[in-house]
Amino acid sequence: MISLFVNVFLLVVALVGCAEIGTTPEELNSKQVIWSVSGEAPSKALQKPGHPLRLGYVVTMFQQSLVEVDLSNNGRGNVLAYSLEAKSESDREPLVLAGVQTPIERKTRLSFSLSDVPERFVLRVDYELDGAVHQRSYSIPLRTSKNRDIRTCNEEPCYRDDPI
């Protein structure tokens, strides 16, 4: 009985608290982080020529399937547009999740809902550098195939032997 009173009291306090800061219980719930990943794109320090952009990203999945992707451009070049696609190995066609058009500040947030988490996002970037417009695509991994078997060899010769 006492615990029931305590729970009711806590619920009332929580509701009053939410009302005071203008947030409903549903909204409060929706901002609870389920998982988050961050990194840089391109990720490898050793690179081919022609990568003036350095993109930092933070992908955060909240309850109720809400996703926020925070992007920051730390390199040369002015980003004109971002387009974010879902990509999994089985996908034939890209699924565009979110996008934003020019002008874009150094830091940008994309928000959208996502019911089925893909293997990764692919970020398409239009940017301007020295008066010319370019495009680049970057891979943002979300789920790694940790259990995937990587075949290595104990002795040579060792062949794939695909049929033709």
Partner 1 sequence: MERAKLAFLTLSRIGFLLAFSLLLAACGGGGSDSPAPQAAGATPGSSTGTQAGATSGSSTASGSDSADSDETTMLDLSIAFEDVPSTCRERCGLDYANPISQPARFINFEVFDAESGALVELSSPPQTDQEGRASIELSRGARVKVRVIASSQAERGSVSWDISVRDNQGSSERAQYPLYSVVTDTIVADSPSLEQSIELPSGWLDGAYVNRRDAAPFAVLDRMIRSAEFFAESETNLALPSLNIFWSVDNRPDETSIGTSFYADGDLWILGDADVDTDEFDDHVLAHEWVHYLLDRMSKDTSTGGAHDLTEFLDARLAYSEGIATALSCLMLNDSVYLDTFGNSQSQGFGFDCETGSQLAFVPGWFSEASIIQLIYDIFDDSRDGDADTVNLDRIALADVLFGKMVNQDSGTASTIYSFLSGVIEASPQNEQSILALADQQAIAVGLSAVDVLATGETNAGQSTEDGDASEIASILPLYEPIISGDSAKEVCLTDGFGQPNKLGNRRLMRFVIENSGSYRISVNSADPENGDPDVYVYSGNQLVNLGVSEQIGTEILDVELNSGAYWMDVHDYDLLFGEGAGSTCQTVALDAI
3-state secondary structure of 35: strand
The interface region with partner 1, picked from 4-12, 26-34, 38-46, 109-117 by CB under 8 A, is 38-46
What number of chain residues touch partner 1 (CB under 8 A)?
A: 50
Smallest distance, partner 1 to C-beta of residue 7, A: 44
Local structure of 92: helix, strand or coil: coil
What is the Cα 88 distance to its own chain's centre? 14
B/e letters for 43-66, b = 16+ CB within 10 Å, e = fewer, are eeeeeeeebebebebebbbbeeeb
Phi, psi dihedral angles at 148 (to 5 degrees): -65, 135
Stretch 40-69: interaction string toward partner 1, x if CB under 8 A: -xxxxxxxxxxxx-x---------------
Q: Which residues pair with 55 in a beta bridge?
A: 41, 73
- Of residues 2, 4, 16, 156, which one binds partner 1 by CB under 8 A? 156
Interacting residue with partner 1 among 8, 63, 76, 105 (CB under 8 A): 76
Phi, psi of 4 (to 5 degrees): -60, -45
74 contact partners, CB below 8 Å, separation of at least 6: 54, 55, 56, 106
130 touches partner 1 by CB under 8 A: yes
Residues 96-125 that bind partner 1 (CB under 8 A): 120, 122, 124
Using the minimum distance from each CB to partner 1, give the nearer residue, 4 or 44.
44
147 or 152: CB nearest partner 1 = 152
Binding site for partner 1 (CB under 8 A): 39, 41-52, 54, 75-76, 87, 92, 94, 120, 122, 124, 130-131, 134-141, 144, 148-164
